[in-house]
């Protein structure tokens, strides 16, 4: 190797160790950055000329810097439901201000001025929109926006009632129970259930037409559309428990559950209602009962909800985003996927703690969190940087020592050149 080759090798060593120091500086600077992945600088030999006859080949060293994306950072809980961390493999797909799909582990997301979930670097979280059952409505990712989730109302589909009907009441005596239900638009409707004693251990249940704002607002029917006015016999056992229902009032118990209450022709504009009546189980004391004494109302329990607006979100470990409404309703709105790579450490780091897909990383594979090799999503948590300060300190010492030796080599080469120049013919 010539003196110029020695100089070139020493210069490459200076460059390599300066790169190592720069990586240490960047890692230490980002030790508190959420989701930051430390950059590891690796070196490899560089041969610029092949020696012959046993001569030493001219060469040096070159560096390869790669983020340690595959190394998990410590997770810490927070008090924000939209702070997200990945436990295991995978990165969140995000979109930058200039567009384009990138990937990150920095999950400090919160609504921006337009309602989009964006992290502290301004990158918006991408997800698949879903229907109310949580099924994706398309194959295209879109930014998660909480302001564009419309309000919701829910119709009543179940009406539960618990009450004691007096066993010692005279035939012909009756009691009324008024229950509130809601149509598909969230409007309140009052329906009156009348129990009239028609014989020993037998009462006839009739349900009147629904009333809204003091006026009849529809027609109540037994069983379904086109059915007759609602009238069934409730039959009890000798021990006061519910025996069943005589739907055609022929004296024979037909089953343990009453027919559906169907409501149509609503003047409120709501869709027809089909309401399942839960009046207790056959042979049980969990609904209607018949014992001596006065009429006692135990409970009225119905579902359905008035119109409500979004009051928060719930994000599950499988990436499902559910909107929470102030009327108590819940609705699935997005499915957050995770992106995995054949070689995550081959991703290219970009400004903002995000990464870009490269030929070395392989293509992004989007999958449901918790399935296959995908990690899970932890809501209300953030991932700390994976910087090891002790390791960085050791790297800094090694790089400093190596840099000093490279400088010594340059000084020696300089002295050798000066010695040659001082030779006189």
pLDDT at 10 over 90: no
The confidence score (pLDDT) of residue 375 equals 95
Q: Which residues are CB-neighbours of 167 under 8 A, at least 6 positions away?
A: 201, 236, 240, 290, 291, 292
What does the DSSP assignment read for 354-405? EEE--TTT---EEE-TTSTT--EEEETEEEPP---HHHHHHHHHHHHHHHHH
Q: How confident is the model at residue 298 (pLDDT cuts 50, 70, 90)?
A: very high
Domain range annotation of the chain: 3-68+386-422, 75-148+333-383, 154-307
pLDDT of residue 374: 94
| pLDDT range class, residue 50, cuts 50, 70, 90 | low
Residue for token digits 């229902």? 245
Give the pLDDT band (50/70/90) at residue 58.
Answer: low
Q: What does the pLDDT average to over 44-51?
A: 68
Per-position b or e across 345-370, b if 16+ CB within 10 A of its CB: ebbebbebbbbebeeebeebebbbbb
The predicted model gives 21-46 an average pLDDT of 88
Q: Would you say 129 and 137 are in contact if contact means Cβ atoms under 8 Å apart?
A: yes
How many residues would you count in the chain?
425
**Mean pLDDT estimate for the chain:** 91
- Residue 39 has which token pair? 């950059």
Please report the DSSP string for 131-157 in residue order. -TTS-BS-S--EE-BSTT---EEE---
Tokens 């983020």 -> residue: 67
Q: Residue 111 to residues 143, 202, 223, 367: CA-CA distances in angstroms?
A: 11, 59, 47, 24
Find tokens 């927070």 and name the residue.
78
User: Residue 311: its pLDDT value, please?
Assistant: 87
Mean pLDDT score, 102-110? 95
* Residue 253 clears pLDDT 90, i.e. is over it: yes
CA distance 275 to 261: 5
For helices 3-29 and 389-422, the axis angle rounded to 10 degrees is 160
Which pLDDT belongs to residue 54?
55
- Which 3 state secondary structure label does DSSP give 301? strand
pLDDT of residue 309: 87
Please tell me the distance from the alpha carbon of residue 254 to that of residue 243, in angstroms, as a whole number: 10
Rounded to the nearest 5 degrees, what angle is found at the Cα of 252, between the Cα atoms of 251 and 256? 125
Q: H or E stretch including 26?
A: helix 3-29
Strand duo 158-166 + 288-291: pairing: parallel
Nearest in space to 57 (alpha carbons), one of 106, 113, 8, 128: 8
pLDDT at 405: 87
Residue 82 has pLDDT above 90, yes or no: yes
Q: Which residue's structure tokens are 């609602």?
A: 230
Give me the percent of the chain exceeding a pLDDT of 70: 97
Distance of alpha carbon 178 from alpha carbon 300, whole angstroms: 9
Give the span between the Cα atoms of 231 and 224, in whole angstroms. 13
For the domain covering 154-307, report its CATH number.
Answer: 2.60.98.20
Q: With a cut of 90, say whether residue 61 has pLDDT above it.
A: no
Cα-based torsion angle of the residue sequence 15, 21, 25, 26 in order, rounded to the nearest 10 degrees: 50
pLDDT in tens, 120-142: 999 999 999 998 788 888 889 99
Report which of residues 47 and 370 the model is more confident about.
Answer: 370
Tell whether the model's pLDDT for residue 56 goes beyond 60.
no
User: Region 258-267: what's the mean pLDDT?
Assistant: 96
Confidence of residue 424 (pLDDT cuts 50, 70, 90): low
Q: Place 109 in a pLDDT band, splitting at 50, 70 and 90.
A: very high
pLDDT mean over 351-355: 93
Residue 420 pLDDT: 82
Does residue 137 contact residue 127 with C-beta atoms inside 8 Å? no
pLDDT at 168 over 70: yes
CA-based radius of gyration for the chain: 37
- Token pair, residue 276, equals 């399942």
C-beta separation of 375 from 336 below 8 A = no
The stretch 154-175 carries a mean pLDDT of 96
- CA-angle at 235, arms to 245 and 238, nearest 5°: 145
Asked whether the predicted pLDDT for residue 338 surpasses 80, the reply is yes
Give the mean pLDDT of 191-218: 96
Q: What is the pLDDT of residue 87?
A: 95
């Amino acid at each position: 190797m010539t003196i110029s080759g020695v100089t070139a090798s020493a210069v490459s060593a200076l460059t390599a160790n300066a790169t190592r120091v720069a990586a240490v500086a960047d890692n230490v600077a980002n030790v508190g950055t959420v989701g930051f992945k430390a950059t590891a600088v690796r070196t490899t030999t560089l041969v610029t000329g092949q020696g012959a006859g046993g001569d030493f080949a001219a060469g040096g060293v070159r560096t390869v810097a790669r983020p340690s994306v595959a190394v998990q950072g410590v997770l810490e809980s927070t008090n924000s439901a939209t702070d997200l961390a990945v436990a295991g493999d995978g990165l969140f797909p995000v979109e930058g201000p200039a567009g384009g799909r990138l990937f990150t582990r920095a999950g400090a997301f919160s609504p921006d001025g337009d309602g989009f979930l964006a992290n502290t670097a301004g990158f918006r979280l991408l997800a698949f929109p879903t229907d109310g059952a949580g099924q994706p409505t398309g194959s295209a990712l879109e930014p998660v926006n909480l302001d564009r989730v419309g309000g919701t109302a829910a119709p009543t589909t179940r009406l539960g009632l618990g009450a004691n009907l007096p066993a010692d009441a005279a035939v012909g005596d009756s009691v009324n129970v008024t229950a509130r239900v809601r149509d598909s638009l969230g409007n309140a409707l009052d329906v009156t259930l009348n129990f009239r004693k028609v014989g020993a251990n037998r009462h006839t249940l009739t349900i009147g037409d629904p009333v809204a704002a003091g006026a009849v607002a529809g027609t109540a029917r037994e069983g379904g559309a086109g059915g007759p006015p609602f009238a069934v016999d409730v039959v009890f056992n000798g021990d006061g428990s519910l025996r069943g229902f005589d739907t055609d009032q022929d004296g024979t118990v037909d089953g343990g559950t009453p027919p559906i209450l169907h409501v149509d022709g609503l003047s409120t504009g709501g869709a027809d209602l089909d309401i399942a009546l839960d009046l207790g189980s056959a042979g049980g004391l969990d609904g209607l009962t018949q014992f001596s004494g006065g009429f006692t109302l135990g409970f009225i329990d119905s579902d359905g909800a008035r119109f409500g607006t979004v009051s928060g979100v719930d994000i599950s470990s499988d990436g499902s985003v559910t909107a929470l409404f102030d009327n108590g309703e819940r609705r699935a709105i997005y499915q957050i996927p995770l992106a995995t790579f054949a070689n995550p450490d081959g991703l290219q780091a970009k400004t903002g703690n995000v990464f870009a897909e490269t030929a070395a990383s392989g293509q992004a594979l989007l999958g449901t969190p918790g399935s296959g090799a995908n990690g899970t999503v932890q809501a209300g948590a953030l991932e700390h940087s994976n910087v090891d300060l002790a390791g960085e300190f050791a790297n800094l010492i090694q790089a400093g020592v190596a840099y000093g030796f490279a400088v010594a080599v340059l000084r020696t080469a300089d002295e050798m050149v000066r010695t040659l120049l001082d030779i006189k013919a």
